[in-house]
Amino acid sequence: MRDISKISEPPEDLHICFGGGDFRLSGKKMIDLCREKFGLRPDSKVLDIGCGIGRLSYPLLEYLSEDGAYEGFDTFPVGVKWCTENITPEFPNFRYQHVEIYNSTYNPAAKTKAADFIFPYEDESFDLITLNSVFTHMMPEDIMNYIKEMDRVLKVDGHIMATFFLINAESNELMDLGKSVHDFFKFGIFYTADPKDPMDAVGYDEKFAVNMFAQRGFVIQETIPGNWCGRESNYHQDILLVSR
């Protein structure tokens, strides 16, 4: 394990911009899951899409060796700036990039649509791609393009961990019972909790989400239901573990 004692934690008010929660513990749980389910190795190459303020990079700072690498990109510049200034100088194999991609919540002034964005990486570069609480802020055509780009930059035997708010019989029933933190309703082909700012919290019919991956030849290795809708779980959002 590498010594990360010189790396400070991002200030509390910055955690909150990126979903809050227990910053260290929630990130560790997700990376532990990738280690257990996907056999993540210290020399793995990881891409963290919508990296925020580096929640998933903290456990990876300890786990990845100098032969491994972490790349993150995000449309909201604040987290990228903080991580670039505070993490990269000590850990040069951890890099963070700001990308100008439209998101009505996080970057409403950007002109480029996520549906048209080409990831700034070579083909077959990564063993693992993570998206924690990112597709929960994106529209269907944007996600379809991100899955296409992931197909391109992921190694043949690589894996994806992506979180969602999955709408299915159980989550619908729990929402009806008032147990959920979000009350989603159908808004075209996706679900939103707020029609005034649909990207603030986006849900997908579970079959629709699975099908978006299936269209690029990906299979869902496992679905781990989250506690967002009031069920018992160690994770907040639903997690799809995806392989080819």
Ligand X SMILES: C[S@@+](CC[C@H](N)C(=O)[O-])C[C@H]1O[C@@H](n2cnc3c(N)ncnc32)[C@H](O)[C@@H]1O
- Gap between the Cα atoms of 66 and 180, Å rounded: 42
User: Binding residue for ligand X (CB under 6 A) from 95, 137, 182, 236?
Assistant: 137
Query: Which residue in the set 46, 138, 154, 166 belongs to the binding site for ligand X (CB under 6 A)?
Result: 138
* CA atoms of 83 and 5, how far apart (whole Å): 15
Cα(22)–Cα(15) distance, integer angstroms: 9
The footprint of ligand X on this chain (CB under 6 A) covers a number of residues equal to: 21
Pick the stretch among 31-39, 51-59, 149-157, 202-210 that binds ligand X (CB under 6 A): 51-59
Q: Is the CB of 138 or the CB of 193 nearer to ligand X?
A: 138
| Cα–Cα dist 136/192, whole Å | 9
Minimum CB distance to ligand X smaller for 77 or for 170: 77
161 is an interface residue for ligand X by CB under 6 A: no
Q: Which residues pair with 129 in a beta bridge?
A: 47, 160
Question: Residue 240 in 3-state DSSP?
Answer: strand
Query: What angle do the packed helices 140-153 and 206-214 form, to 10 degrees?
Result: 40
Name the nearest CA neighbour of 49 among 150, 155, 191: 150
76 binds ligand X (CB under 6 A): yes
Residue 236 in the binding site for ligand X (CB under 6 A):
no
Binder among 84, 86, 132, 192 for ligand X (CB under 6 A): 132
- The residues binding ligand X (CB under 6 A) are 18-19, 49-52, 55, 74-76, 79, 101, 103, 106, 114, 132-134, 137-138, 142
